[in-house]
Amino acid sequence: MIDFSPVTEVAGSRATREQLAMIQTRYAEGARRARDRRVLEVGCGAGRGLGLIERAARQAVGGDFTFSLLQRARAHYGARVPLAQFDAQALPFAAGAFDLVLLFEAIYYLPDAARFVRECRRVLAPGGELFICSANCDAPGFTGSSLATRYLAARDIRALLAAEGFETELKAAFPARRAGLAAHGVSALRRAAVALHVVPSTLRGREWLKRAFYGPLTRLAPEIGERDAPAAPLVPIDAAGADRPLREFRVIYAFGHLR
């Protein structure tokens, strides 16, 4: 079995200000949509965002493929949030059990993303919603994970959800291009590191690169707070924009709605 703990954000890991903002943005949006709903987070990892979701939801459940990550989550939450080990492509829940399913920064690890989306459709009640957040592989300077099976572009995610009967809404955030000489210098260094194959495969191994490129890092707590970092605004992407490579933003937010 693949161990995803080396590529998962856990308590004690260190993150840049932008990374903190990315984490806050996806979970703040997830919590907003979770209000008074039954929520399942697939690929919850060590559960850093489950507390934010649980405080908003009527019911929150988390699950992950890697047992050691679930052990971390259980040590922090105790009986506060139900947790289960499962494969995202075979969800162990009854039909219609949830109103909202979350999958954050994990769809590219799934061997069969379409099977996962079909499972989501099964476990969602009428009017339910699937919220997927993913790195944008079309963005300049994109660096993927060594454990990824396939990165999906915005147009791929839209097509995937549409094929399973979801009405899809796409948004994006975190501009890929920054102004200023310093930002251009950092971008050039990142491209050089990728080209020279010196980017470590684990999050912990990448910390020294982050310090060199972005400055001081912040140590992550076991649970995300309400205001750990500013959440970025989400920019709607219309159907025409989603049909071309989306190069302007670094993160994709896809919302699939069931009638």
Task: Report the CATH number at residue 37.
Answer: 3.40.50.150
Number of residues assigned to the chain: 259
Backbone torsion region of residue 37, taken as left when φ is above 0, otherwise alpha when ψ lies between -120 and 50, otherwise beta: beta
The set of residues, in sequence order, having a beta carbon less than 8 Å from that of 37 and lying 6+ positions away, is 57, 58, 98, 99, 100
How far is 259 from 255, CA to CA, in rounded Å? 13
Expressed in angstroms, the distance from the first to the final Cα of the chain is 36
Q: How far is CA 56 from the centre of its chain?
A: 19
pLDDT of residue 175: 96
The pTM score is 0.88
Work out the angle at residue 195's Cα, subtended by the Cα atoms of residues 3 and 138, and round it to the nearest 5 degrees: 70
Give 234's Cβ-side CA count (13 Å radius). 21
Residue type, 213: F
Q: Tell which phi-psi region holds residue 174, choosing left (phi > 0), alpha (psi between -120 and 50) or beta.
A: left
Instruction: Give SS3 for 250.
Output: strand
Contact 249, 131 (CB under 8 A): no
113: containing domain = 5-257
Q: Which amino acid is at 135?
A: A
The C-alpha angle with vertex 60 and arms to 10 and 65, in degrees rounded to 5, equals 50
What's the total number of domains in the chain?
A: 1
Which helix or strand (DSSP H or E) is residue 69 part of? Answer: helix 67-77
Beta strand pairing call for 98-104 and 38-42:
parallel
pLDDT per residue as tens digits for the range 94-129: 999 999 999 999 999 999 999 999 999 999 999 999
Span 147-175, pLDDT tens digits: 999 999 999 999 999 999 999 999 999 99
**Whether 64 contacts 88, CB under 8 Å:** no
| Range 22-41 burial, b when 16+ CB lie within 10 A, else e | bbbbbbbbbbebbeebbbbb
Question: CA–CA separation, 97 vs 69, rounded Å?
Answer: 24
Q: Read off the tokens for 61.
A: 């459940």
3-state secondary structure of 26: helix
In tens digits, the chain (259 residues) has pLDDT values of: 789 999 999 999 999 999 999 999 999 999 999 999 999 999 999 999 999 999 999 999 999 999 999 999 999 999 999 999 999 999 999 999 999 999 999 999 999 999 999 999 999 999 999 999 999 999 998 989 889 999 999 999 999 999 999 999 999 999 997 644 444 445 555 555 555 445 555 665 565 555 555 568 999 999 999 889 999 999 999 876 667 889 999 999 999 999 8
Q: Which residues are registered as beta bridge partners of 59?
A: 38
